[in-house]
């Protein structure tokens, strides 16, 4: 049975302090931001609380209101959990070079969420749903914490890479293909190979 996240939390070396610099883009499951933490530039991928039908699972044939069942799928199928498990697997197996370096996960504090929403108010960011139907349902409040509050926005801190399409030559493409095979051998199947 799956036993949860394998990735360690990001080490802020004290209180959580994040400076949001730029919204880099979004995908089906997340928004990506350029941030400054401890004087360094990183990419911070903040995950949406996606609809259950976005999870790769047989959940579409079941009662989505069955919290016990959906909780069982969470560690295997929910995108944030999957990403943390994949990066944790790479770190544990000593193969971090197969992906952009990941420094750990973040549970965004309320003051940072507030700062994020103010800084990017023109984007009308929504962390419920997916890119096609944001905010259609309050997924975030489905599983409240012990204190009755909604879950914090979750994310992963990664190296801030630079796009380099000019060097995307056959030799690099062959390396990427070999890396995909290695990822699959490690049990990591749902991957996103793209230049961004």
Instruction: Enumerate the known binding-site residues.
Output: 45
Q: Which residue has the tokens 């949860």?
A: 4
Question: Could you report how far apart the first and last alpha carbons of the chain are, in Å?
Answer: 34
Residue 104, beta-bridge partner list: 157
- Is 6:88 a contact under the CB 8 Å cutoff? yes
- Is 78:140 a contact under the CB 8 Å cutoff? no
- Is 92:108 a contact under the CB 8 Å cutoff? no
- Is 24:34 a contact under the CB 8 Å cutoff? yes
Q: Which residues are annotated as a binding site for ATP?
A: 45
Closest to 54 (Cα-Cα) out of 74, 36, 37: 74
> Could you give the residue ranges of the DSSP H alpha helices within 17-78?
67-77
Pull the structure tokens for residue 89: 């697997």
């Amino acid at each position: 049975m799956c036993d949860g996240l394998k990735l360690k939390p990001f080490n802020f070396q004290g209180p959580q302090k994040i400076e949001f610099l730029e919204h880099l883009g979004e995908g089906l499951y997340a928004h990506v931001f350029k941030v400054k933490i401890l004087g360094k530039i990183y990419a911070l991928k903040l995950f949406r609380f996606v609809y259950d039908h976005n999870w790769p699972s047989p959940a579409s044939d079941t009662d989505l209101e069955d919290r016990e069942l959906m909780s069982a799928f969470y560690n295997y199928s929910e995108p944030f959990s999957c990403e943390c498990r994949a990066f944790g697997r790479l770190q544990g197996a000593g193969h971090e070079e197969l992906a952009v370096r990941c420094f750990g996960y973040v549970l965004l504090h309320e003051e940072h969420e507030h700062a994020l929403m103010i800084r990017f108010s023109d984007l009308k960011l929504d962390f419920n749903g997916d890119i096609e139907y944001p905010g259609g349902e309050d997924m975030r409040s489905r599983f409240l914490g012990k204190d009755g509050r909604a879950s914090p926005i979750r994310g992963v801190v990664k190296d801030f890479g630079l796009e380099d399409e000019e060097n995307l030559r056959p030799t690099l493409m062959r390396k990427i293909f070999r890396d995909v095979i290695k990822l699959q051998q490690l049990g990591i199947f749902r991957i996103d190979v793209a230049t961004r």
